[in-house]
Amino acid sequence: MKKKLEMNFKKRVWTLKEEFKTSNRSKNTNQAIAIEVTIKKNNYVGRGESTPYIRYGENISNSIQELTSIKPYIEKGISREMLQLMMRPSSARCAVDCAMWDLEAKEKNKKIWQLLKIKKKPFPLKTTESYGIRPLKQLQKDIERDNFPPLIKLKANANNVFDIVKLVSKISKNSKLIIDFNESLSPTEIIPISKKLKKFNVIMLEQPLHEKQDNILKQFKHTIPIGADESCHTADDLQKLKNKYDYIIIKPGKCGGLTEAMKLKRLAEKNNFLTMIVCMFGSSLAVAPAYYLSLDGANINNIEVPKIMQKDRKYKIKCQNQLIFPPDQRLWG
């Protein structure tokens, strides 16, 4: 008799080496509170992890409720395709979806990049160095410590962006900059700020406006490309983003899993959007799916999360000199 599937889940807390503040988050910035899902079948165990997305009202409590509701269906053997219909695009679905991918790879004795039909074999990928909002002196020390990365992502708001950009441009003249506003600008600020930033080596403004206020992005020529993060949840959002955004920011946790994230990525490319792959804070288990999204080919990779984790899993992903190395198959995939 075929052994039944067994799904389990639990809360995991991972500490960071330092605080990582943004314009919309200033509490509990030294840790990642995640959910971990395991799906057992015969002698195989698939695992997935994702961090509840506070921006969309997610937390551990309602994530656990979602996982409790879907558990009987997972154990009855629903497909990954059916999972997309039965759960909303949430971090809870992401953890289940990624566990299902991991389980399939182990059952079929195939590598995840083969299942995803990625043409490139895994190799070290270039990634950005990200810096949360911090005192300028500390920011300078951190950039010097990281040997002046060629691509830097900076969290900022309207009040501090020019101080931050002027400093970084002075101390790291050859670095290209991404400025992530996390929806903190007003519609009246976006045009003058983007014009002033044009004289610096800024290559993208990430989610400058709240998603409900971004229609103004259609009304002017972008002197600097603009990226959609919170404005783009799933592939269903792409049509409304045309003529507003130049980049699509793709996160497995935000999309509701690797299945939807890969769908979004490939559809975005067909619609002539540029893409940036990003990962929320969590252990290397949460980052591994994002690595394979990046391996499929992206314009920018922003997945250096393992570097900032104080605690991580066995077989953690290696990050060194702005490179992220392929995940160990004993970790995931």
- What are the boundaries of each domain within the chain? 6-109, 125-324
Count of Cβ atoms closer than 10 Å to residue 47 Cβ:
21
Q: How far apart are CA 190 and CA 158, in angstroms?
A: 9
Strand partners, 22: 25
Q: How far apart are CA 97 and CA 254, in angstroms?
A: 13
Percent of the chain clearing pLDDT 90 (strictly above): 93
Higher pLDDT, 4 or 117: 117
Residue 234: exposure state from Cβ atoms within 10 A (0-12, 13-18, ≥19): middle
Q: How far apart are CA 139 and CA 171, in angstroms?
A: 10
Strand partners, 32: 14
Give the pLDDT mean for 243-253. Answer: 97
Give the pLDDT mean for 118-129. Answer: 96
Token duo for residue 312: 């991580």
Q: How far apart are CA 58 and CA 183, in angstroms?
A: 18
Give the pLDDT mean for 12-34. Answer: 82
Chain segment 213-222, per-residue pLDDT in tens: 999 999 999 9
- State residue 29's pLDDT score: 79
Beta strands in the chain, from DSSP E residues, in sequence order? 6-15, 31-41, 44-50, 125-126, 129-131, 151-155, 176-180, 202-206, 226-228, 247-250, 274-278, 300-302, 319-320, 323-324
Q: How far apart are CA 68 and CA 71, in angstroms?
A: 5
Q: Is the pLDDT of residue 25 over 80?
A: no
Count of Cβ atoms closer than 10 Å to residue 69 Cβ:
12
* Banded model confidence at residue 28, pLDDT cuts 50, 70, 90: low
> φ and ψ at 65, to 5 degrees?
-65, -45
Q: Is the pLDDT of residue 1 over 60?
A: no
Q: Is the pLDDT of residue 66 over 50?
A: yes
- State residue 4's pLDDT score: 85
What rounded mean pLDDT belongs to the chain? 95
The one-character DSSP state at 184 is: -
Reported as half-sphere exposure (CB side, CA atoms, 13 A), residue 19 has a value of: 12
Reported as half-sphere exposure (CB side, CA atoms, 13 A), residue 21 has a value of: 9
Q: What is the dihedral angle through the alpha carbons of 130, 175, 250, 315, rounded to the nearest 10 degrees?
A: -50
Q: How far apart are CA 180 and CA 157, in angstroms?
A: 8
Higher pLDDT, 49 or 18: 49
Residue 314: exposure state from Cβ atoms within 10 A (0-12, 13-18, ≥19): exposed
Q: Is the pLDDT of residue 48 over 50?
A: yes
Strand partners, 15: 31
Q: Is the pLDDT of residue 27 over 70?
A: no
Candidate CATH numbers 3.30.390.10, 3.30.70.2660, 3.40.640.10, 1.10.540.10; the one for domain 6-109: 3.30.390.10
- Least confident stretch, 11-25, 192-206, 265-279, 290-304: 11-25
* Banded model confidence at residue 22, pLDDT cuts 50, 70, 90: confident
CATH node for 125-324: 3.20.20.120
Residue at 182: amino acid letter: N
Q: How far apart are CA 293 and CA 263, in angstroms?
A: 10
Are 125 and 294 a contacting pair, CB within 8 Å?
A: yes
Chain segment 277-321, per-residue pLDDT in tens: 999 999 999 999 999 999 999 999 999 999 999 999 999 999 999
Residue at 146: amino acid letter: D
Chain segment 165-199, per-residue pLDDT in tens: 999 999 999 999 999 999 999 999 999 999 999 99
- State residue 208's pLDDT score: 97
